[in-house]
Amino acid sequence: MSLLHFWEIEEHVGKLWDHLITGAASKRYPDAAVHLKDIKKTLNIAFRAMTGDGAMHIESAIATQSRARRNWLQRIASTEEKVQLSWLTDNALHLPETIDVFPDMALNKKLYIWLTALASNDTGKPSPWYQRNQQLTVQTLHRFPGLKSLYQQLVTAHLATRPLIESLPDDEALQETAIQQALRHPGQQHKLPPARHPPQAVYLWLHPYPPAKSAAIGRQDTDTSETDNADQIDSKEMDGKKQAKREDNKKVEGGLLAIRFENIFSWSEFVNLDRSQDEEEDMDEAAAAMKDMDTVSVAKKNAPMKNRLKIDLDLPAEAYDDIKLGEGIYLPEWDYKKQILQTDHCCLQPMLARDAIECDLPLHLKSSARKLRHQFEALKPARVWFKAQQDGTDIDMDAYLNFHVNQHTEHHDPESRLYKAMKNSHRDLASLLLADLSLSTDSWINNSARTIDVIRDSLYLFAESLTATDDRFAIHGFSSRNRNHVRFNIIKNFEDKYTNHIRGRIQAIKPGFYTRMGAAIRHASNLLNEQKSQQKLLLLLTDGKPNDLDIYEGRYGVEDTRKAISEARQLGLQVFCVTIDEKANDYLPHIFGSGSYVVIRRADELPRELPLLYARLTQ
């Protein structure tokens, strides 16, 4: 027998042994597993309805270390070392990625439903884990009485998987008895007896010690002049989420190497992966290592960075940047945590493209523009006869007969309106198209076009279509680099005629920085509100959710944008959002309302769909 053949047999036997020992030690039922990704949409809807907060959503939970007692078989097989439990943060419910604790798939799915309902009653007030979960259980069953039978099924199934009380040491037996009594009769147990080991995970309850929120990493440590190129960097997607911890990256020269060889079987939870540089050669090795880690420690590296050059190019000197118009406009911003509108919190800077050159409509759009103009001519106000005029081109026979009959009666009107005139009817409408020009628009949607290219074509066709209706319209773009620098790109004002000069401004648009939507929407609303038209439409074109360098992330940005939309509607404006973000259904209903946005599934269809959408909104 050759050595290679021997190794193959050894490897095969090893795999069989690993499968056997792991299966014997595991308390999981993978054949009955339910995955969060399969029911996340349903749970999201239910959770928002239960909490009454449209900004809340569901995310996958990270696995945490279990300190509960394990038997000798589990220790040999290295199973039950980690558990995935549930917990609630300010804006998200974290649920296990997979639930396979019961042999019945229906029960595993019901556990997802129960945990969602349980968390919807959590107010975040600090209280002991043992008492808090009992109180939440009582509140949930009182609020949703239809869940009582579901809860009893889960309790019965869960108790069958918990340790036998008689097999535990005395202190752990008392603790386990108290937990099982609390599950059967929630609210009647007031104190959890102490024990040497923590109890086995209670899958029907929320996490006793949720992982601490990760410190903000990277962006807060870097100079604010650095831009975020995350949308352009290829990344390795990890299975599950990891908890992050910041470490100082101290370089030690020389020194004595001392190794305790028993530590060779432990796993170091530090990867020297520089997030502020381009991807390194050992990215694959680092990604593989991270899969087995609980906590990823990230350090700021002080080595020279190749993308400093790109940052400098992204921040051109004023002589090469777009032209600033004025000293900036100060606008408020909504702080949802404090529930206050912060006065003069943002500075919006109107900008005019420096390198805009007059140009004709691009050749590849001329055919589409011609068809759209023909379609939009149907919306153009028709010429109609206006009767009973003081002067006109023809006599109004109806008015003349009435005048002749009434001239000898008390109903006689001395002012004669005996003529009729052919005039254009009037569409009393003003529209403002506000385009998101953030850094993410530099991403490629296919082999031939970027998002910014699609947006540029959309602006072209939008303007070409509206010239056929004589509707008043304006086009502007925006991006931001923190609250003190919100860039508002002037493309076409209401009083501007759509000429090759405006086409040159459209051609000059380019990806900017971040997406501080609230400030841009407030300024656009003020511009639109100044128009005298009876109907006013604010159309927002975007490819992502609100974000910026500072705290304008997550719920803060979402709530400020929602507040800005509410302010616009109070002014009497009609607000509608068009997006190509596939994840928009997670946050846009909360911001705009269920009927005030549309998701374009294929980004390359946006140029054709945008004008047609405008036609439907303004008919």
DSSP letters spanning 77-105:
HT-SSEE--BEE-SSEEEE-SEE-SSS-H
> How many angstroms separate the CA atoms of 121 and 386, rounded?
64
**pLDDT of 552:** 93
Which of the four pLDDT bands, split at 50, 70 and 90, describes residue 149? very high
DSSP 387-405: EEESS-SEE-HHHHHHHHH
Sorted by sequence, the CB contacts under 8 Å of residue 252 that are 6+ apart come out as none
The pLDDT tens digits of the residues spanning 382-394 come to 555 566 666 777 7
- Helix axis angle, 554-570 relative to 517-529, nearest 10°? 10
> What's the whole-model pTM score?
0.64
pLDDT for 12: 61
Determine the CATH number of domain 324-377+427-618. Answer: 3.40.50.410
233: burial class by Cβ within 10 Å (0-12, 13-18, 19+)? exposed
Cα separation, 598 vs 580, in Å, equals: 9
Residue the block writes with tokens 């002014």: 571
Q: How many whole angstroms separate alpha carbon 162 and alpha carbon 182?
A: 14
Tokens 């520089």, located at residue: 274
The Cα 2–Cα 464 span in angstroms is 77
Q: Phi and psi at residue 472, in whole multiples of 5°?
A: -80, 130
d(CA 149, CA 258): 60
With pLDDT > 70 as the criterion, what percentage of the chain qualifies?
A: 71
From-to residues of CATH 3.40.50.410 in the chain: 324-377+427-618
Phi, psi (deg, nearest 5) at residue 291: -60, -30
Q: Return the pLDDT at 5.
A: 61
Give the model's pLDDT for residue 497.
95
Q: Give, for 243, the enclosing helix (H) or strand (E).
A: strand 243-247
Whether 487 has a pLDDT exceeding 80, the answer reads yes
pLDDT tier for residue 590 given thresholds of 50, 70 and 90: very high
Nearest C-alpha neighbor of 518 from the set 558, 474, 488: 558
The pLDDT of residue 234 is: 41
Assign 413 a pLDDT band (cuts: 50, 70, 90): low
| Range of weakest confidence among 31-40, 370-379, 458-467, 589-598 | 370-379
For 43-57, how does the pLDDT look when each residue is reduced to its tens digit (9 = 90+)? 988 898 888 787 788
Q: Which two tokens stand for residue 362?
A: 């691009």
How far is C-alpha 57 from the geometric centre of its chain's CA atoms? 10
pLDDT band at 135 (very low <50, low <70, confident <90, very high): very high
pLDDT at 320: 76
Please give, one letter per residue, the 3-state secondary structure of 406-441. Answer: HCCCCCCCCCCCCEEEEEECCCCEEEEEEEECCHHH
Task: Return the sign of the alpha-carbon dihedral for residues 558, 559, 565, 568.
Answer: negative
- What lies within 8 Å, CB to CB, of 59 at 6+ separation is 92, 93, 94, 95, 241
Q: What is the pLDDT of residue 236?
A: 45
270, burial (CB in 10 Å: exposed 0-12, middle 13-18, buried 19+)? middle
